[in-house]
Amino acid sequence: MKNNTAFILKLFLALGDVTAIILSFVIAYFFRLHLDTRPYFFVPQIRDFVILVACLAPLWIIIASVSGLYKKEIYLSRSREYGRILLVAIISEMLLISYGFFVGDDIFPVRIIAVYFIGISFILMVLSRELVRLIRRLLFLFDIGYKRILIIGSNKIADDLIAYFSNNASYGYKVVGVVAKNKISGPKMSQFIDLDKAIKALNPDALLRVSNDQADDIYQYTIDHHLSYMFIPDQSRLLSQSSRVEIIDAYPVIDVKVNTMSDEGRFAKRIFDIIVGGLILVLASPIMLIVIVLIKVSDPKGQVFFRQLRLTRFNRQFHVYKFRSMKASLNGLSPEAAFDKIGKPELSKIYRQGGDQIKNDPRITKVGRFLRATSLDELPQLFNVIKGEISLVGPRALVPDELNKYDRKNLILSVKSGLTGLAQVSGRREISFTERRRLDIYYLQNWSLFLDIQILFKTVLMVLSRKGAK
């Protein structure tokens, strides 16, 4: 899961597709104006046209994605890929014609330009993808770009897959070792009996299990160590809601997804975070300035912001930003230490039993109560979103001590934490810690961009109604 080669490949394919489509329109216009000897009766406006096409670039990506051009099974089959490319070229042209019809702009002043575009865009998209293939093959020569596979088990299937990956470098998988008691036949490679030792020595990106021994233990191991997990299924376990089946050398290999967020999903989510998060940050800036003034006026010597160590995807630590709502002398202390300092240690037990909340918390300032009731104290986390440390929507970013109490923490840490999330809009502090974590797991196993949008709208409604705020 930590290997991003698949995402980088799709990113370069997408950039090549967009560049090819934009250049196709430019070349089509140039061909008609300078190489086609027939007279024309229109005023060329190539600059405005190129700007329009470039602004529509996200739509090209969506069309290509829906057409399947970024799926591995399409990329590995040139015949299927070329057919999809032609389809994308035709749909792209139809999109511009439709735009011109509804807006009233004559995008194609003469029909022949549209005809030129289809042929040119097809050729350029094919060339751009062949260039990506060539660069990828060159990187393979330097052992760059492979997904490093550790096979678990020793049987004929293991031997076949090792041979297949050795002879089919374009697949992007490289077997770096085997964990098995019996020696394997075929190409010589590193073999281990102990899985931990193999992981430390080889640092693989994914585990591929070819036998049914210790299936549950191996799956849990991949979750705990943030590794991709694939296996050759038996007949009863062929299908899975959160998995994808690949046919490799006539064997059905199941690529199990710990969460439903694909490479394209993470890319779309990141773009969504930057655009929407940046817009919210701009709109919220005047409010944030007022809050800063209120905090400084109420406590001139205290800090405006509160920083705390939290966890996000792959157990990475970062500092979350919030407006300070605690008294300056207690800022940054754990609840137990803070209650001890104010001489009320008995409140620690009440606080923990109440789901990490307590009525009329003596640690919080008057301004802090208002900020928490309106959730304005969370606004500085927008900087964390823009920096890419968290997402707008996701599981709550927990402190290490909190998350260590939960036995399925590594499953939650398979995605970025969020400023808001399903647990917050399902009751916020009114539900227990365990129930909030169950909602976090449900979110990552049922993620969609539409679900993120729903959660954001519900968050706004809950903030306005102050429901569940403490």
Q: What is the pLDDT of residue 286?
A: 94
Q: What is the pLDDT of residue 168?
A: 85
Give the chain's radius of gyration (CA, Å). 28
Q: What is the pLDDT of residue 23?
A: 87
Read off the pLDDT of each residue in 211-239 and give the average, rounded to a whole number: 76
374 pLDDT exceeds 60?
yes
240 pLDDT exceeds 50?
no
Q: What is the pLDDT of residue 106?
A: 55
- How many Cα atoms sit within 13 Å of 282 on the Cβ side? 6
382 pLDDT exceeds 90?
yes
- Cβ atoms < 10 Å from Cβ of 20: 23
- Could you tell me which residue, 460 or 247, shows the higher pLDDT? 460
440 pLDDT exceeds 80?
yes
Domains of the chain, start order? 5-141 (no CATH), 147-256 (3.40.50.720), 263-325+364-465 (no CATH)
Q: What is the pLDDT of residue 319?
A: 92
pLDDT bracket for residue 238 (50, 70, 90): very low
For 146-205, what is each residue's pLDDT tens digit? 889 999 988 888 888 888 888 888 888 999 999 988 777 767 788 898 888 999 999 898
Average pLDDT, the chain: 81
Q: Helix/strand/coil (H, E, C) string of the chain?
A: CCCCHHHHHHHHHHHHHHHHHHHHHHHHHHHHHHHCCCCCCCCCCHHHHHHHHHHCHHHHHHHHHHCCCCCHHHHCCHHHHHHHHHHHHHHHHHHHHHHHHHHCCCCCCCHHHHHHHHHHHHHHHHHHHHHHHHHHHHHHHCCCCCEEEEEECCCHHHHHHHHHHHHCHHHCEEEEEEECCCCCCCCCCCEECCHHHHHHHHCCCEEEECCCCCHHHHHHHHHHCCCEEEECCCHHHCCCCCEEEEEECCEEEEEECCCCCCHHHHHHHHHHHHHHHHHHHHHHHHHHHHHHHHHHHHCCCCCCEEEEEEEEHHHEEEEEEEECCECHHHCCCCHHHHHHHCCCCHHHHHHHHCCCCCCCCCCECHHHHHHHHHCHHHCCHHHHHHHCCCEEECCECCCHHHHCCCCCHHHHCCCCCEEECHHHHCCHHHCCHHHHHHHHHHHHHCCCHHHHHHHHHHHHHHHHHCCCCC
- Could you tell me which residue, 470 or 123, shows the higher pLDDT? 123
pLDDT bracket for residue 239 (50, 70, 90): very low
Read off the pLDDT of each residue in 376-385 and give the average, rounded to a whole number: 94
Is 0.85 surpassed by the pTM of this model?
A: no
Q: What is the pLDDT of residue 134?
A: 93
Residue in this structure with the two tokens 């990329």, named with its chain if needed? 75
